[in-house]
Amino acid sequence: MRDSLTVTIDHIRHEAPDIVTLYFTRPFEFTAGQYISVYFDDVDVPEGKAYSLSSRPNDEFASITVKDVGGPFSSRLCAMRAGDSLAISRAYGHFNPQTDSALVGIAAGVGLSPVWSIISANDHAKHTLHFGNITDSHIPFHEELAQLETRVEHYITRQADTIYHHGRMEVTRIVAEAEAEAHYLICGSVDFVRDIFRQLESAGISRKKISTEIFFEHS
């Protein structure tokens, strides 16, 4: 039998035209960077689908941040309202390296969720975040990122007049600027994660110092 619990959506925040954060009272303890499964009984996916917790373990509310890709889960989640119920699992996952080393987060779009949860949970001054989005208005957690002591570098791929860096991440520069003992966290689509992973290895970073979480087949 499925081990699920039901939570009620307390409030919602629209992060970007296609990204929504759903907040609910935290029903369990979890480790920053973990994910939950979401279940809809009338959708024929009994195992549910995974969503990273975008909140930190000590935040008042737990949250998931969802990109609407037009499928049965994301569309429904992005259309939810305060007061709606949601069936979820407990938290799983080992993306968090649980290290005292400086962290270098490398994320694209909604892939920020677990990276944000880990980097912003504590000691954020010593970490760095490289964050890619298609336009300035597609950046989730934009205001919170500006308030972090973490150095955040934004990369915008499809808007030439961006106030941020226009174009893709330069992994050799990211590595050159990072501490030698830094641990790298990569999250996004399979293509994004694979590409950055290979570039980190080519730049001499050991696999032991790279943690990955893959969200999507396509980005």
Ligand X SMILES: Cc1cc2nc3c(=O)[nH]c(=O)nc-3n(C[C@H](O)[C@H](O)[C@H](O)COP(=O)(O)OP(=O)(O)OC[C@H]3O[C@@H](n4cnc5c(N)ncnc54)[C@H](O)[C@@H]3O)c2cc1C
**Would you tell me which residues interact with ligand X (CB under 6 A)?**
35, 49-52, 64-67, 69-75, 110, 113, 213, 215-219
107 within 8 A of 131, measured Cβ to Cβ: yes
C-beta of 204: minimal distance to ligand X in Å?
28
C-beta of 51: minimal distance to ligand X in Å?
4
Of 56 and 182, CB closest to ligand X: 56
Burial status of residue 18 (CB atoms within 10 A of its CB: 0-12, 13-18, 19 or more): middle
Of 110 and 210, CB closest to ligand X: 110
DSSP letter string, 104-157? EEEEEGGGHHHHHHHHTTS-GGG-EEEEEESSGGG-TTHHHHHHSSSEEEEEES
Of 155 and 175, CB closest to ligand X: 155
DSSP letter string, 58-70? TSSEEEEEEE--S
Of 49 and 56, CB closest to ligand X: 49
C-beta of 167: minimal distance to ligand X in Å?
20
Of 157 and 177, CB closest to ligand X: 157
C-beta of 132: minimal distance to ligand X in Å?
13
C-beta of 177: minimal distance to ligand X in Å?
27
The CB-nearest residue to ligand X is 71
